[in-house]
Amino acid sequence: MLKILLIYYEPQASGQTTHVLSLARGLDRQRYAVTVAVPERLERSIAAFRQSGVEVTPLPLNKALWPHQAVVGLVRLVRASRFDLVHVHSQEAGLVARPLAWLARAPAIVYTPQTVDIRRVRRRWLYALVEHLLARVTDAIVSVNTQDKQRLIGWGIPAHKIVTVANGVDLARFSSPPDASHLRQALGLAGNVPVVMQLGRLCHQKHPEAFVEGAALVAAECPAARFALVGDGPLRERVAAYLRELGLEGRVHVMGGPHEAFRLLVAADVVTLTSRWEGAPYAVLEAMAWSRPVVVTAVNGCSEIVVDGLTGYVVPSGDTARWARAVTDLIRNRDKARAMGAQGRQRVEKEFRQEQMIARLEALYDQVTTRKKDGDLQRR
């Protein structure tokens, strides 16, 4: 049996938690013993991991500079538990946890950044350099889309170290949708109006201001339409101010990220994503699993998930006019929207199932650990 340590960081439960939790739940328990190192502030996520039957080590992880307790805690955990493989998730954890795992003499290190973009454009050259250097202590890098894989290769990282494994969803969780009318009532939305929803953190990456600006354009064409931003984050006050400025209070509902927020997508007629960059966003996969048409920006893996004109629309990032026209088209053409939603569900069933993702990662784990063991035997 292989002992696997999964490590990740994010400030609040979102896509990283969804990904690592699905991996922890899905790995074959007859072949893998799983431990998860998780940010200690994510209390609800810690409980979910424990309920899934894996060992959990909460640590005071930060975005960049880890406190002494987190550094020592991770090194001691890796040394004491003698893991066969350490799998680090997220850019933030990858910058710190990989060198620590290497110093702690982890036999094998795998890394999934989820996305290879960063907010500060002027520092991208430095980030690319750091990723290039850390690749030397990384046995395999998992890219969740092919575009990011090509960028990593362009940074000088050997192609043989990079494998593309798309994110996947557990379709069993989408077999019994909640009642849409009850959801709308709970959200304060009328049952007979078109609802446009976006699920994601209110942060620079997700560009929620573009959602608000686009909502104003859609509302001018479809006065009955209502909008919902589901999530929380550092831009919440800015979004609220922008809503007041555009006179959209009462039309755009801003709500936090409740537990199992993906279930709220059932209340939407159209699901959108206005991101500046992405990896392979779970919110889009979840919307498609609920048979909802989507409008996304043409960034990273979004255009690999959504087939433009078939399962939804793909528009340039920042082009709120194009976004608004796409959303308006789906609101006005309900039959087209339903057909796109059905096609989206079929696409997820074919290409983005959790079982596929788990099988590919298990194969990678076996390949990496076997290669490392064979190398150790040859050196002896």
Alpha-helix runs per DSSP H in the chain: 15-26, 43-51, 68-81, 91-103, 124-134, 146-154, 180-187, 208-221, 236-246, 282-289, 302-305, 320-332, 334-351, 354-379
**Alpha-carbon gap, residue 165 to 149, rounded angstroms:** 10
In a shared domain, residues 102 and 182: no
In a shared domain, residues 195 and 344: yes
- State the average pLDDT over residues 116-138: 87
In a shared domain, residues 97 and 178: no
- State the average pLDDT over residues 126-145: 95
| pLDDT tens per residue, range 86-98 | 999 999 999 999 9
In a shared domain, residues 14 and 99: yes
Number of domains in the chain: 2
User: pLDDT band at residue 377, thresholds of 50, 70 and 90?
Assistant: very low
In a shared domain, residues 248 and 152: no
| pLDDT tens per residue, range 191-244 | 789 999 999 999 999 999 999 999 999 999 999 999 999 999 999 999 999 999
pTM of the model: 0.93
In a shared domain, residues 146 and 185: no
- State the average pLDDT over residues 108-119: 90
User: pLDDT band at residue 12, thresholds of 50, 70 and 90?
Assistant: confident
Residues 6 or more apart whose CB falls under 8 angstroms from that of 116 comprise: 91, 131, 143, 148, 151, 152
Q: With 60 as the cut, is the pLDDT of residue 379 above it?
A: no
In a shared domain, residues 156 and 199: no
Which tokens hold the place of 183?
């959801």
**Alpha-carbon gap, residue 220 to 328, rounded angstroms:** 10
In a shared domain, residues 21 and 135: yes
- Give the pLDDT score at 123: 79
- 37: domain CATH number is 3.40.50.2000
Q: With 50 as the cut, is the pLDDT of residue 273 above it?
A: yes
In a shared domain, residues 23 and 163: yes
- What is the residue-averaged pLDDT of the chain? 93
In a shared domain, residues 188 and 77: no
In a shared domain, residues 8 and 67: yes
91 is in which domain, residue-wise?
2-168+353-379
- Give the pLDDT score at 224: 94
- Give the pLDDT score at 15: 86
Decide if 216 contacts 248 (C-beta within 8 A): yes
